[in-house]
Amino acid sequence: MLLSTVIFLPLLGVIAIVLLRGLGASAVKGIALAIGLLTFIISLGLYTGFDAATATFQNVTQEEWIPGLGISYHIGIDGISLWLVLLTTFLTPVCILAAWNSVEKGLSGFMMSLLALETGMLGVFCSLDLFLFFVFWESMLIPMYFLIGIWGGERRIYATVKFVLYTMAGSALMLVGILALYFQNNNSFDLTTLSGPFRHSDLLFLGFFIAFAIKVPLFPFHTWLPDAHVEAPTAGSVILAGVLLKMGTYGIIRFCLPLFPDAAATFTPLIVTLAVIGIIYGALVAMVQPDLKKLVAYSSVSHLGFVVLGLFSRNPAGIQGSVLQMVNHGLSTGALFLLVGMIYERRHSRMIVDFGGLSKQMPVFATIFMIVTLSSIGLPGLNGFVGEYMILFGSFVEGAFSKVYVIFATAGVILAAVYMLWMFQRVMFGTLDKTNAELPDLNAREIVVLLPILLFIVWIGVYPKPFLSKMEKSVDVVVTQVKTQSATGHIEERKLQNSQLALQGTQHEKNEKEAQTK
């Protein structure tokens, strides 16, 4: 019940805004912020009530929804989704507050889209029924489409249509995969009863993986990301980078790895190669961007490459690091987008050449920017370090792939320092341009928006244990699911079993057909 409240409270907010939008802009903003904060506060109950000693799903609700198709309303969280849920409920009020004064037209529509988006994203992280998952996965597209398309920049229409079409192309294949799984799961969409091995698991794996890889986005499916990020309004960019991209990596850890371990093993070299290319390519392209927002967007491609690398290392340290890094990236990249948005509101430019010497004019801004930049680079003591270190450590020491990949990936860490620090230097130091001499420093509202993020950036960096301990058991389960089924000695045996099962399956189909014709 608690979890359903968290998921659908934002939707209630949408209805409230529809009914009360006549009261004016400040009322709409107030309702949205109140609902956003309330959702966050209630979602904290999920954290305090979470039992870290078990890996089973908690706060489970299961109700019949469409019995005729074997579909139920089945939700619950484990130590992995808990963090993504909290990240979502945390970032949404931050975004609402960040958009306080920047939205001029259609404010109520903006807030409604933001809240509807929150429901969609929370639903994705909590669904334990494949159909329900797909419903949330697809319905979340609509509010995002409006957010970019109505409140975005110059090329917003191109960006939003590209975003929707890329995602839909991926999800089309995933839908086929979901249906194929259904018939191998005793005609049920229930995720908790799914257990492999499945027939055609390679194809099924790809069907799911491509949908998630587009969302992550993994090189070479990343081209929608810079467009969407650059054109989206600040709040849209924050949600996009902070939460939406995580839906892809979450999908990999929830579906691809545990359901199709053999296929995951088969495709590991290819995927890890793509991830490493993404890390280095994203960093190199970020380095030469003249536009601050685009730079941050390409840095996301690089960072998410690390997350995918960690996931496919298929050992506890790597996967825990990946999950933590999902949260870290949400915090630090979210903060970067907020900061870029704040400077854009003042100067109406995001071009690096237009700035210089800002540290004298805006000391508070410069300080916060410095902390976030260092977090993004992965300075020890801040959150990024913990995640990246665990990923690289896990991949290097007992990763499921060659160490050469890890060596190349580590180069990405150095490149990150290069592009971030170089950008910081050009924006903050040097001579102050006359046009920038009047820029005001951050106001109280903006500091309130950024402070909670900074708090978590330092907290995770200094003392990550509470975060890691809650996810430990759940990650271990994923690892055992992957390991037991794909340990080298077992592969041949598995294949034999698979083929036997496939034979049984076809026999079963034949019987069914005969029964039908009779």
Partner 1 sequence: MPIEINWQLLMPELIIVLTLLIVLVFDLFDSISKQVLGWMTIVGAAIALWVSIQMHQAGTVGTQFNDMFKVDNFSLFFNIIFLVSTILVALISISYLGSGDRKQGPYYLLILLATLGMMLMAAGNELIIVFLGLELMSLSLYVLAGYFRESPASSEAGMKYLLLGAFASAFFLYGIALIYGGAGTTSVPAIAEAITSPNKSPLLLAGMFLLVVGFGFKVAIVPFHQWAPDVYEGAPTTIAAFISAGPKAAGFAAFLRIFMEALPSLQVEWGGVLIVLAMLTMTVGNIIAIAQTNIKRMLAYSSIAHAGYVLIGLAAANNDGISSTMLYLLVYCIMNIGAFGAVILAKTADGESLMISDYAGLGMRKPLLAMFMTLMLLSLAGFPPTAGFVGKFYIFKSAVQAGHIWLVIIGAINTAISAFYYLRVVVTMYMREPEEELEFSPYSSTLVIGLIIAAIGVLLIGILPSLMLNPAQNSVF
Which residues make up the interface to partner 1 (CB under 8 A)? 65-69, 105-106, 131, 134-135, 138-139, 141-142, 145-146, 149-150, 156-157, 160-161, 164-165, 168-169, 171-173, 175-176, 179-180, 182-183, 509, 516
Q: Can you tell me the distance from the alpha carbon of 318 to that of 308, in angstroms, rounded to the nearest whole number?
A: 10
Interior CA angle at 339 toward 333 and 341, to 5°? 105
Of the pair 48, 516, the CB lying nearest partner 1 is at: 516
Least spacing, CB of residue 318 vs partner 1, in Å = 33
φ and ψ of 291, to 5 deg: -105, 125
Of the pair 147, 311, the CB lying nearest partner 1 is at: 147
Least spacing, CB of residue 64 vs partner 1, in Å = 9
Residues 6+ apart with CB under 8 A from 453: 94, 331, 334, 335, 338, 372
Q: Can you tell me the distance from the alpha carbon of 117 to that of 239, in angstroms, rounded to the nearest whole number?
A: 9
Of the pair 66, 437, the CB lying nearest partner 1 is at: 66
φ and ψ of 64, to 5 deg: -65, 135
Neighbour tally for 496: CB within 10 Å = 10
Least spacing, CB of residue 367 vs partner 1, in Å = 38
Q: Can you tell me the distance from the alpha carbon of 43 to that of 87, in angstroms, rounded to the nearest whole number?
A: 10
Nearest to 212 by CA among 265, 178, 266, 256: 256
Of the pair 178, 304, the CB lying nearest partner 1 is at: 178
Give the CA diameter of the chain: 87
Least spacing, CB of residue 96 vs partner 1, in Å = 21
Of the pair 65, 408, the CB lying nearest partner 1 is at: 65
Residue 212 near residue 249, CB atoms below 8 Å: yes
Least spacing, CB of residue 293 vs partner 1, in Å = 20
Of the pair 176, 288, the CB lying nearest partner 1 is at: 176
Q: Can you tell me the distance from the alpha carbon of 141 to that of 322, in angstroms, rounded to the nearest whole number?
A: 25
Of the pair 122, 420, the CB lying nearest partner 1 is at: 122
Least spacing, CB of residue 68 vs partner 1, in Å = 5
Least spacing, CB of residue 263 vs partner 1, in Å = 17
Q: Can you tell me the distance from the alpha carbon of 50 to that of 57, in angstroms, rounded to the nearest whole number?
A: 10
